[in-house]
Structure 1
Amino acid sequence: MIHINKLIMRSQIQERVIELVRSFLNTNLKNWTVLTNPSPLISVKRKAVRMGIWWRMQPLKRALLDATIMFLRRGGVVRAVRLINMIKEIVQELLTYILSRKVVFVAYLVGKELVRRFREYLGIVNDVKYIIHLGIQWLNTPLIYRGP
């Protein structure tokens, strides 16, 4: 019974980490209005292929991103709002899975969440290294001892 509870808690933690990464990306990918440069899309695609995430995506999403990259390489400009939103969702999905595998980034997000929760005890913390330190401490704490 305890083993099943640990698995449930781990899956909840993984879902929470993915939520944190998505909320971080939502705030940082807001200002896409016109796409003219293919290099950010190419770099995200390369990293996804390297990490094996690219082939787990739906073929339609892969094809849309490939077609957009080819169109932008040939000098085109993407102005359609719906198409930009679709590409933004694809990039966000790829970056979510890429960044959720980076321990330092996950530790930073978890530490930031801890600082937000315990602001009255910790005060204002701006040191990135300390935030990562808090996140790594929390990630290394056994599930039994973690608070809600």
Structure 2
Amino acid sequence: MPTLLSLRALKSRALRRGVWLRLDPAARALLDASILYLRRGGRIKSQTLAEALRAVAERVLVLTTPIRVLAKAIGMAIARAR
């Protein structure tokens, strides 16, 4: 389950790297609303909401990860397949 600290860290990382505005507005709104809900003492119990947050987190991580790291991961996967 996502925690308040992990979601806030994810948002701050996206803001620092300049990819926050490249996310679609629905993803940004979902992340902001979840942070606000958790800050006010709520718990995320819905599996659907958790999956949606996980998808947004993956998208942010893909956008913030440097190209060289992605290229190395893809190259290693291809090398293992051979």
TM-score range normalised by the length of the shorter chain = 0.7 to 0.9
The alpha carbon displacement at 1:107 in A equals 4.4
Among candidates 77, 97, 106, match of residue 70 of structure 2 = 106
Give the structure 2 partner of residue 40 of structure 1: 6
Deviation of 1:102 (Å): 4.8
Quick one: percent identity of the two aligned structures?
30
Separation of aligned partners in 2, 1:78 and 1:59: 21
Report the alpha carbon displacement of residue 108 of structure 1 after superposing the two structures with TM.
Answer: 3.4
Decide which of 11, 18, 21 is 1:52's aligned counterpart: 18
Instruction: Give the 3-state SS of the residue equivalent to 1:83 in structure 2.
Output: helix
> What number of residue pairs does the alignment pair up?
82
Unaligned runs of 5+ residues in structure 1 are 1-33, 119-148
List runs of 5+ in structure 2 lacking aligned partners.
none
TM-score by length of 2: 0.84
Going from structure 1 to structure 2, the CA distance change for 1:108 and 1:98 (only over 3 Å counts) comes to same
* Structure 1 residue 64, shift from structure 2 partner: 0.9
Q: Secondary structure at the match of 1:78?
A: coil
1:127-142 → structure 2 map (5 Å cutoff): none
User: Of residues 37, 51, 57 in structure 2, which corresponds to 1:71?
Assistant: 37
SS in 2 for 1:108: helix
1:71-109 residue CA offsets vs partner (Å, 9 max, x unmatched): 11222110101111111111111111111x252x22430
Q: Which has the larger radius of gyration?
A: 1
CA RMSD of aligned residues (A): 1.6
> How far off its partner does 1:47 sit?
1.1
Match of 2:52 in 1: 86
Alignment of 1:7-18 (within 5 A): none
The DSSP-based 3-state class of the residue aligned with 1:49 is helix
In 2, Cα distance between equivalents of 1:84 and 1:110: 27
**1:110 corresponds to which letter in structure 2?**
I
